[in-house]
Amino acid sequence: MVVSATASIASSAGDLQNPLWRNRLEALLSQGRAAGADLVEVFLERTDHLGVLAEQERITSVSPAFGMGAGIRVFLDGLDGFVSTNDLSDSGLVLALEQALGMLGLRCSSSAGISGSASSLFQGLPELRDFGVTKYDWLQRCPRLDESTGRLLEGTALLERHGSHLQARRGTYSRDWQEVLVAASDGTFARDIRLHQSLGLSVLAADGEHRASLGRRYGTTDRPDDLRQWDAEASAQDVCASAGTMLYADYVEAGQFPVVLANRFGGVIFHEACGHLLETTQVERGTTPFADMVGQSIAHEAVTAIDEGLSGGAFGSLSMDDEGMEPQRTVLIENGVLLRFLSDRAGELRTGHSRTGSGRRQSHAFAAASRMRNTFIAAGPHTPGDLIASVDRGLYCKSMGGGSVGPTGQFNFAVEEGYLIENGSLTRPVKGATLIGEAREVMPRISMCANDLELAAGYCGSVSGSIFVTVGQPHIKVDTITVGGR
């Protein structure tokens, strides 16, 4: 062993398919319940990650990583204590449990180790719900290093072929494999294997003082062959066309305009402006203006919004959430009326909103929280052209950058590729725009939804870490919004 505390904290990854885990977990849960906890939950994970970076004609970074760990959460009277550890030995897990219990003023009756004896408060785990049973070979079916590096280099070569004035070309590939096992004293016992792959192409175009940096990211879940099936040609053409257009774009004039947001990643506006405010995490904090508005109108009647974890292959899809619950299709808003919130175990306990299979976390180091999965505004009756034609003077946001929402509900996000709308038509490209507003004010201004709903992959950082999500929408029109610019 190479790491030591007073005792060693070194550990062995173990195999989460090993049936011995049942006894170990039952002993932990039993000890926690015997100590007085209302509920004990153990989240175990193993991970295998690969990151590859291609720049110009070279692979410049290959970064494999693997790991394991456990997160133990104990609930008592609505409060909880959470401890994470890389030490999956018996003593390491017991220490973590004791710390979690101690946070709530509880003590294990015995700290000698996992005894295996079940207390009368915990009747043992049921049969394992194994969502990973058909996924054992996914990691092996993913492209090997030579194949993945080859495809990335194909992408950067295509950027060179289709672009002009390119100062830098980059391709990135990320493969995240995760095996999780969740056990809780309420009878939860489930296992899953997840596979997320994402690909990105980006360029920096420069011509004298003119510069434009643009990128696209694609991501799927549970599709080992995804990289093989990637249409590198189309991706490169898309990125280069946008970079070429934006290279000479003027900065947008600041002001308040009607805005038409394109489909796919345009959905980040709903994700940031409203989606986060419909997580029970925000209800608990008292930071959502919608906390007491279930059944009331919070958006234009054109808006129906959904969060689900079910769309095949979508980046935010799950067979089970990180608390062992199967994800649901959750209609958040229907025709402008707020129907429900996204909730996890703690959210249900503290706010009364029933769980929706939305308990998610980046890794064992985070306690699960209510988080979005695949979140989108439903398609409407119009064509994208109808929306643009309805605007005399405004902004068309073809591609969005990232964004965020603050503790008072104010949101902002960057427009990566924008065009002026003049007299119902797209005219000049413009850059440097930021859309800012407040959810409660903007949602009633989404007055038109088109019929071209599409999803786009992204990452969402929040209280339980960075997680895989999709955002999505059809083209939508916001009647007026503040556009930050020059």
Interacting residues with another protein between 201 and 220 (CB under 8 A): 204, 211-213
The reply to whether 159 sits near another protein by the rule CB under 8 A is no
Minimal distance, residue 57 CB to another protein, in Å = 10
Minimal distance, residue 11 CB to another protein, in Å = 6
The reply to whether 102 sits near another protein by the rule CB under 8 A is yes
The reply to whether 101 sits near another protein by the rule CB under 8 A is yes
The reply to whether 140 sits near another protein by the rule CB under 8 A is no
DSSP H helical ranges for 298-368 = 345-351
Phi, psi of 312 (to 5 degrees): -60, 125
The reply to whether 107 sits near another protein by the rule CB under 8 A is yes
Which residues between 10 and 49 bind another protein (CB under 8 A)?
10-13
Nearest-CA neighbor of 373 among 310, 300, 454? 310
Place of tokens 């979690």: 100
CA distance 190 to 311: 21
Instruction: Please say whether the beta carbons of 72 and 40 come within 8 A.
Output: yes
Q: What is the DSSP letter of 382?
A: B
Nearer to another protein, 363 or 447 (CB): 363
Give the one residue of 82, 230, 376, 396 binding another protein; rule: CB under 8 A. 82
Which residues between 266 and 295 bind another protein (CB under 8 A)?
284-287
Which residues between 365 and 404 bind another protein (CB under 8 A)?
365, 367, 401-404
Burial 305-333 (b: 16+ CB within 10 A, else e): bbbbbbbeebbbbbbbbbbbbebbebebb
Minimal distance, residue 473 CB to another protein, in Å = 18
Minimal distance, residue 333 CB to another protein, in Å = 22
Which residues between 230 and 269 bind another protein (CB under 8 A)?
251, 254-256
Tokens of 89: 């030995």
Nearest 5°: CA angle at 231, between 230 and 235?
110
Minimal distance, residue 127 CB to another protein, in Å = 29
The reply to whether 9 sits near another protein by the rule CB under 8 A is yes
CA distance 157 to 244: 17
Give the one residue of 61, 134, 335, 466 binding another protein; rule: CB under 8 A. 61
Burial (CB < 10 A; 0-12, 13-18, 19+), residue 195, is buried
Which residues between 342 and 371 bind another protein (CB under 8 A)?
365, 367
Nearer to another protein, 424 or 484 (CB): 484
Give the one residue of 96, 240, 439, 456 binding another protein; rule: CB under 8 A. 96
Give the one residue of 238, 438, 452, 454 binding another protein; rule: CB under 8 A. 438
Instruction: Please say whether the beta carbons of 416 and 429 come within 8 A.
Output: no
